[in-house]
Structure 1
Amino acid sequence: MAQRALPLPAARLGRAVRTAGESTTVSGVVLLLPDGEPYSHRRPSPFTYALQLPLARSLARAGGTDGLAAHVVHYRCRGWNTTEAHLAADAEWAVDEVVRRYGDIPVCLAGHGMGGRAALRAGGHPAVTSVLSMAPWLPGDPDAEPEPVKHLVGRQVLLVHGTNDARSDPELSFRLAERAKKSNRDTCRFEVHSDGHALRQHHTEVAALAADFVRGSLFGRGYARPVADALAAPPPLGLRMPLAAGFGKSLRG
């Protein structure tokens, strides 16, 4: 007798990460999208969400005075699963849930790895103002349909990728950024020299870059010089910008 597949659990938002003592009014939300796997219907590991909490807290601290809330998205399953694109669908659901809870406020999708792909794919949602894609996992099959980019027009888009990433090919994120910038000039990409998929070696600089981008894209704060230059530069300069050691200090200074 054939076994029936169990239904996937519902996606959900993690508890809002806010800065203690700041206003209770939420004026913008950043959704953290964890990494995943190309194919899997298994439930995600809690460890993947725990990995996103330090960045969520860092962003909440940086945007506390602006009314920023950060949520880590809990997927239904850990896999992208070809045309089902479960992680992207869960990201879109999460944006809808933000609108339901908080009303008409700007949203930034910030994903890592497979979550970076989900952020890019779901970035066309009307409530999404910006997309931060870190070490995005992208399909490398030359015969596969290329990832869509035209829906990102009108959004601020930032990609960050370590040059030594052995899990997600940094050349693929460069090619995607190159295509995206042809239709959306507000696209830029930073390369983290010698860093791997987890972006641990320069995590301080990456966190500072993320905070600067989120505050600028959600609340109209002026971007730090390196980010402003990257957004304004034509390719390939705006797509191969180096993220140097000490960059975090320059952004916070």
Structure 2
Amino acid sequence: MTAGGAPALDHLPARAPTRAVAVFCHGGTVASVEPPRERALSLLRMRAIEQFVRAAGGDLGLDTYVVRYRVAGWNGVAADAYADVRWALSEVRARHGSEVPVALVGHSMGGRAALRAGGDASVRTVCALAPWTPPGEPVDHLRDRTAFVLHGRGDRWVPAALSADYAVRAERAGARIARFTIAGGHSMVRRAPVWHAFVRDVVLAGTGLAPWRADLREALERRELAAPL
């Protein structure tokens, strides 16, 4: 792993006995060994989504965590964000036990890290938001795993075609995956309530705290890879 400080987890505990955990992974950049900025937009947006989900799930027993990366970049084969998410999952197991279901939520670089960590035994579902999934990103580990993708059709930072190709390859590898598209770009600001509700509903249903929303369930059953929201 790239040299730097230790990763960390920011925690919002459930308001009831813990029944599930959601781990949120914010975006970053292609290459940087500098620590993420405290006021980075990617971190602020992920905090807003975390707080929205926790408001809905806290009384149901949902704990939430935001991963604090050591460095802001993916950094090629070092895959630093992925390494930090793997650490976060081991830390969650140490705190809550191996039987507590986990949802991984990631945006952009964090979406890539969440999808790559989706084969972990604790993870019940992955929710990837505008994920940066370059050609050749591994998919075989998602066989028999559940993942949802939401991507802005006008995304100029991470083109939606990347997650479209990834979803096709993951489905062929045996993943239970559904992909939705939405008007807007990479920052998830346009139609923000729709992004927030999507994450909330995937997390709560994916960890067994709520029933599936009809369109999510139907898209997953059909392996729908281009449903609009």
Please state if 1:135 is matched with 2:124: no
The aligned residue for residue 171 of structure 2 is 181
- SS in structure 2 at match of 1:55: helix
The aligned residue for residue 107 of structure 1 is 102
Q: Hey, what's the Cα distance between the residues in 2 that align with 1:208 and 1:50?
A: 17
Deviation at 1:18, TM superposition (A): 4.0
Is 2:149–2:179's contact at 8 Å kept on the other side of the alignment?
Answer: yes
Q: Hey, what's the Cα distance between the residues in 2 that align with 1:155 and 1:185?
A: 5
Q: Hey, what's the Cα distance between the residues in 1 that align with 2:219 and 2:37?
A: 35
TM-score, reference length from structure 1: 0.85
Count matched residues: 225
| Structure 1 residues 128-167: aligned runs within 5 Å | 128-139=123-134, 146-167=136-157
Deviation at 1:129, TM superposition (A): 1.1
Moved more, 183-192 or 127-136: 183-192
Residue 8 of structure 2 aligns to which amino acid in structure 1?
Answer: R
The aligned residue for residue 117 of structure 2 is 122
The aligned residue for residue 200 of structure 1 is 189
Q: Highest CA radius of gyration, 1 or 2?
A: 1
Is 2:60–2:209's contact at 8 Å kept on the other side of the alignment?
Answer: no
Instruction: Indicate which of 61, 65, 74 corresponds to 1:71.
Output: 65
Deviation at 1:208, TM superposition (A): 0.8
The aligned residue for residue 212 of structure 2 is 223
The aligned residue for residue 86 of structure 1 is 80
Q: Which runs of 5+ in 1 are unaligned?
A: 1-5, 141-145, 244-253
Identical residues among aligned pairs (%)? 33
Q: Hey, what's the Cα distance between the residues in 2 that align with 1:129 and 1:197?
A: 26
The aligned residue for residue 225 of structure 2 is 239
Q: Hey, what's the Cα distance between the residues in 2 that align with 1:9 and 1:40?
A: 14
Show CA shifts across 1:73-128 (max 9, x none): 00010010110000001001000000001112111110001111111111111111
The aligned residue for residue 27 of structure 1 is 19
Show CA shifts across 1:185-225 (max 9, x none): 520001002x0001211110111111111111101632111
Output the aligned Cα RMSD: 1.5
Instruction: Indicate which of 8, 16, 19 corresponds to 2:4.
Output: 8
TM-score, reference length from structure 2: 0.93
Instruction: Indicate which of 47, 50, 57 corresponds to 2:44.
Output: 50
